[in-house]
Structure 1
Amino acid sequence: MVDEEVVATTFETWTALQKVTDQTRANLIADIVGHPQGAPSVRELEYMNPALGEDAIRRHLGVLRDVGVVAELVVEPGNRVREYPYKFYQLTPQARALFDRNDLFPADAWQRQYARVEKTGEIAELEAMPRPE
């Protein structure tokens, strides 16, 4: 569930561009864009970025969320499955429009790149999980 009103009022193009030019955050955005469902969990992002720990990934996602680049999708408590993630991250419509206008993070290219990475059974299973709307 995404609060569109909060995202719409907090998105500033210049601030968003400043935050996404950090190499680590740019890598995370590329993985979000490349993800088959466009909304990976922290576990999937950690698999794709093994040098980062979960805490660092969460911190960078928090920065991106605060400037309106990513939105957090949360599985409602009654629908959560034990041992599976319940938070996923996707680009906001404002960020996708900004990136499209500036030819940044083209989905086709990053999806091809993401698909080339060999995945463990656990990661393949996580990729196939349904995401909340």
Structure 2
Amino acid sequence: MPAVDLQSQNSFLYPANTVERAERSLVCSPFNLCLFIAMRHQSVPVGAIALDSGVKSGYTKRLLSELACDNALDWLIQVGILRREVDGQGITDSFRLTPLGRQVIEKLQLYPKRSASWRDRLYDFLTRTFRLPF
């Protein structure tokens, strides 16, 4: 149940557990913070994130196939951090941050040393595995 922040028309207030889940999912993802910083300014296609180009650009922590990359990005869509870019023809293969994603990225930029603990990874795994299908 998000509420509009009256100080800024561009930011929303999210429940603390929503922000915590989004932050945990982000730090447990196979992507580096610089990918999400790039997504703040422009949409990024999956081709620039997957395979060698993702590692060379510093977007990924390790080499990812296009399928693994798309699955990880889809999870971040379900959490509420990302959205797919849409053009006049329909949905594209590019991704952009949501307002929740912008808030989490701003927080992680202020505290860049946040890394995933074993507890974060376990909780993220359980959340992904046992979530309801709707």
The two structures, once aligned, show a CA RMSD in angstroms of 3.1
Aligned to 2:84: 72
Deviation of 1:18 after TM superposition, in Å, equals 1.3
- What residue is the counterpart of 2:23 in the other structure? 17
Instruction: Choose between structure 1 and 2: higher strand proportion.
Output: 2
Instruction: Choose between structure 1 and 2 for higher RCO, CA contacts under 8 A separated by at least 6 residues.
Output: 1
Q: 2:71 matched to 1:48?
A: no
Measured in 1, the distance between the counterparts of 2:81 and 2:98 equals 6
Give 1 or 2 for the bigger CA radius of gyration.
2
TM-score by length of 2: 0.54
Normalized per residue, which structure has more helix? 1
Structure 1 alignment gaps of length 5 or more = 1-7, 81-85, 106-133
1:31 and 2:43 correspond: no
TM-score computed with the length of structure 1 as normaliser: 0.54
CA change 1:75–1:87 in 2 (3 A) is: farther
Contact kept in structure 2, 1:33 and 1:91, CA below 8 Å: no
SS at match of 1:49: helix
Provide the identity percentage: 18
Q: Assess if the C-alpha contact under 8 Å between 2:82 and 2:98 holds in 1.
A: yes
Q: Over residues 60-105 of structure 1, what are the superposed CA-to-partner deviations in whole Å (9 max), with x where a residue is unaligned?
A: 1011000100111122327x9xxxxx32111111221233245257
Aligned length: 90
